[in-house]
Amino acid sequence: MKPIPSQTLQQRILILSVFVVASCGLAYELIAGALASYLLGDSILQFSSIIGCYLFAMGVGSHLSKYVKEEDTLACFIDIELLVGLLGGLSATLLFLVFAWMGTPFRTVLYVLVFLIGVLVGMEIPLVMRVLNRQGANKPDFAEIVSNVLTFDYLGALAVSLLFPLVLAPKLGMARTALLFGLLNAAVALWAAHTFKHEIKAHRAKQTRAAIVLVLLIGGFCYADRLTQWSERGLFGDEIIHAQTTPYQRLVVTKWKDDLRLHINGNLQFSSRDEHRYHEALVHPTLEKLPWAKRVLILGGGDGLAAREVLKHKNIQQITLVDLDPAMTDLFSHSEPLVKLNQGAFINPKVHIINADAGQWLEQNTEQFDAIIADFPDPSNFGLGKLYSVPIYRLMARHLSENGLLVIQSTSPYFAPRSYWCINATLKEAGFYTYPYHAYVPSFGEWGFILADKKGNYTPPTQYTEPMRFLDGEVTKLMFTFPADMKPWPVEANRLNNQKLVHYFEQDWRQVMR
């Protein structure tokens, strides 16, 4: 067999490095988009703006690459790889720290970081192509260079786009995923500094810098969890007893004295000190009017707290709970303090847990239920907004018995009035009669719910058969009465083609934050 000339082997390895470079570039873009969505909400806006900024920056980088002198191409490529590795590798940790400890400049830091990484990534491919094009007798023609480089560029992008949501983010988390790709960039730089040492001035200095960056990133990788927990401790203020990144969300459970709190993507979901108010108000005005009910469907409610309240009604024989995230239901099935909080709801034989998208499950399933309880997160993005839409409510109607009742967690009628009354209008357009009500939950303020039926004959209960910590007949009567500052707003229903609810939600909470 004819031996491969060393120059040809170098070319092939350099082209293979494009695969790594492309993977790293897309990974940093995905990490920035995912982190912005976790911390700021509205995934479409965050991903769109970050992708736009990143692509624009890559264009700037490609333009700037032409100013690199031919004799400095390799040296510049190595320096860029080290810079990308350092900035990109530390990007997630830095953004966590800024959000937790500084707050206000987070968006500025986010887009500056995305722009800088984009510029550097935009310079990489042109420089690689120039290095390949200047190789000696064994150099391929330019058309072959372009073809090979772009092929491996796109293959690298495909690989990371599949690995990121399925393996890297859920297994390593954002901070360690970024550091892993930073290490790959630094490794490419170290390889290039060693392989092309005869063509680079001061190649030992390049190798030393690459080794230093590698050591820094390895140290960051080893201590990433501690740094993330430290930043989240600054964000939440309390001791973190559980933190987990799933394919769907970031789960953080904190504790202060006897108060357990669940945060999803940085947003408080409940405080154990007052969650009984929320969950009693969510469940019992519905089930108290259905003493004959046997089958209940809970959509969302992966913490088991709504299921705990449903189980207080002895007539209930089966609870089907559909929640998207298996990590959520698993956490509240096995963590001792959380199982104690939901009183072992998920180990009760009456409760059947299904981890699936609620919309898809409603469409594919044909079961009927006497009561449906929708305990979804607030409609802060289009993925959640669809769960509050006319088509989803019509699917719910198909699963609800003729005399059954439906109740929806509906945000705050005080802080988010457009959102609240939009949900009410959406239920009406789906064919329901609606009965809006609200309850005061200290952790959230005035919170809203909407009860609905098919016949229009619901009346609130005047007493409860089971003892309650919060509810009684008088409290319930007040819940279905709205004061002047929470009266209905003229709003549109939420349809899939316009997602008005998400826009209302953003508008409402933007005004609250001013």
Active centre residues (catalytic): 375
CB atoms within 10 A of CB 236: 19
**Number of neighbouring beta carbons within 10 Å of residue 471:** 23
> CA-CA-CA-CA torsion for 30, 222, 170, 335, nearest 10 degrees?
-140
Categorise residue 261: left if φ over 0, alpha if ψ from -120 to 50, beta otherwise: beta
Q: Give dist(CA 351, CA 345) in Å, integer.
A: 7
Compute CA 275 distance to the chain's CA centroid, rounded to the nearest angstrom: 23
Interatomic CA distance for residues 408 and 354, integer angstroms: 19
**Residue 219 backbone zone (phi > 0: left; psi -120 to 50: alpha; other: beta):** alpha
CB 487 within 8 A of CB 297: no
Measured CA distances, 149 to 17, 293, 506 (Å): 9, 64, 43
Range 62-69, long-range pairs (CB < 8 A, 24+ positions): 62/122, 62/123, 62/125, 62/126, 64/119, 64/122, 64/123, 65/122, 65/123, 65/126, 65/127, 65/130, 66/126, 68/123, 68/127, 68/130
Rg (CA), the chain: 28
Residues 6+ apart with CB under 8 A from 151: none
Helix axes 73-101, 106-133, angle to 10 degrees: 170
User: How far is Cα 401 from Cα 395, in angstroms, rounded to an integer?
Assistant: 12
